[in-house]
Structure 1
């Protein structure tokens, strides 16, 4: 690989529901579907179509020669809107969002109210290694992401994934220490439809090229949204 990028999916109905639940002080996020089936919101669809106009406007040599999407509906739809009919478009379950187990659908308030013992465990273990019952830690997600990156075969590879993915790729590709990566994630939100990318250096390492870039959305008629995922915030 010479270049690797990750686009966070467009805004989903789950993102909107989480924002409403958090701001309303509710314990539970009102989402009927399982996480894998949550669709894009109307704004998310506009972001996906803006991505499509952006790719259509650029020279083909700047296109990715391999596209890999998380198996979740919101990421597959975003990829399909951005690069319809791409000849090398794959879906890989290793790129899926973090699984929260017993904390699924709970807001920050809900976790504190219903599972205070888990907050104690999280503080003791640290966010990187804390695994909610039936769920995954950040380290678990990193293990499958590391496996996926090793298997990628392409000069320019573009991933369609989730908010957690750019943070973990900084750890994996750049060697950003755990503490620094988690502090950075705590103070940052990855905009929906944004691009983060890295370019291979002469020494074989990776250098950050773009970070949470949304200029393409604005240029092609969509507004960026900064709606956080429960997988990086609530648990």
Structure 2
């Protein structure tokens, strides 16, 4: 290789590193999912029989929970840096808008670079006005059918919510990649998504590639409970950077899921966790460790097939 080729390789590598640094610098340090505070529907389910779900607002306790959540979020975000900003996404429902308003009391204008109402992170649609006795029967059916696939009459399944949350995630990444959030890379960016219990669970399911069976293990977040996905040292997001094992167990994560979160806390961006059982072992039986093993298995299978053929031939001649 001559000098010009060396120079070209060096320049190419330099700009690749600069681009990678730029992209990493644009990534949010945290993506935080927050469930709304206690609503009148949480307190009394008969509220759904006369009031549309999207209009049900917070109780006095829910307002208090939201204010405390704002204080907690600020302390989490400000604990590791002085230069930080927040950007909010919020479900259009009354209870999430009210939760955001109370959370916002803990942040000044100079810290908030934007907010967007996002319909795709709204609550699961359980149908229109919800008669109490009928909903009890329907929810019992859902338990037998499976929470992820059961579609409420005139409403949605969790699978339907997964589809729209997946679409939101694609838009979220475009916002980050194209810097539609007007983020200065010298500041830590924190995205706060104020949404609902099921929407938060399917968001995590999509992000971490959890299976339907793993989704069924998850518990709903409490009112104003937070799930902090934080950027690890290698560029992957993980719940284990901020949260303890005890919290992850409480949320319903299995031991394999928790081990994967711990791996992500230090994994390099784009790395493959071959120690995570559900990535391969949950879908295949006895995959060969190497192509040599695979070829040997093919030879063994060929020998077995030849023996079987001879046996069949001798049986009928």
Q: TM-score, normalised by structure 1?
A: 0.70
**Residue in structure 2 matching 1:69, options 74, 90, 114:** 90
Give the structure 2 partner of residue 198 of structure 1.
229
Q: Is the 8 A contact 2:36 2:96 kept in 1?
A: yes
1:146 aligns with 2:166: yes
Q: Report the CA distance shift for 1:130/1:139 in structure 2 as closer, same or farther (over 3 A).
A: same
Return the alpha-carbon distance in structure 1 between the equivalents of residues 195 and 85 of structure 2.
15
Please, which runs of 5 or more residues in structure 2 have no aligned partner?
1-26, 177-188, 245-317
3-state SS of 1:101 partner:
coil
1:207 aligns with 2:238: yes
Give the structure 1 partner of residue 134 of structure 2.
110
**Residue in structure 1 matching 2:64, options 34, 46, 54:** 46
1:205 CA displacement: 4.3
Higher-Rg structure is: 2
1:203 CA displacement: 6.2
Q: Report the CA distance shift for 1:174/1:144 in structure 2 as closer, same or farther (over 3 A).
A: same
The structure with the greater share of residues assigned to helix is: 2
Return the alpha-carbon distance in structure 1 between the equivalents of residues 237 and 73 of structure 2.
24
Q: Is the 8 A contact 1:195 1:211 kept in 2?
A: no
1:204 CA displacement: 5.6
Q: Is the 8 A contact 2:201 2:220 kept in 1?
A: no
1:134 aligns with 2:187: no
Give the structure 2 partner of residue 79 of structure 1.
100
Q: What CA RMSD, in Å, does the superposition of the two structures yield over aligned residues? A: 3.0
1:5 aligns with 2:22: no
Return the alpha-carbon distance in structure 1 between the equivalents of residues 83 and 61 of structure 2.
26
Please, which runs of 5 or more residues in structure 1 have no aligned partner?
19-28, 213-235
Aligned residues: 194
1:111 CA displacement: 3.4
Return the alpha-carbon distance in structure 1 between the equivalents of residues 227 and 153 of structure 2.
31
Greater relative contact order, per chain length (Cα 8 Å cut-off, separation 6+): 1
Return the alpha-carbon distance in structure 1 between the equivalents of residues 103 and 143 of structure 2.
37
1:4 CA displacement: 1.0
1:64 CA displacement: 5.1
- Per-residue displacement from partner, 1:92-151 (whole Å, max 9, x unpaired)? 11110000126x5245x53355x69x92x8745x32122122211101111111111221
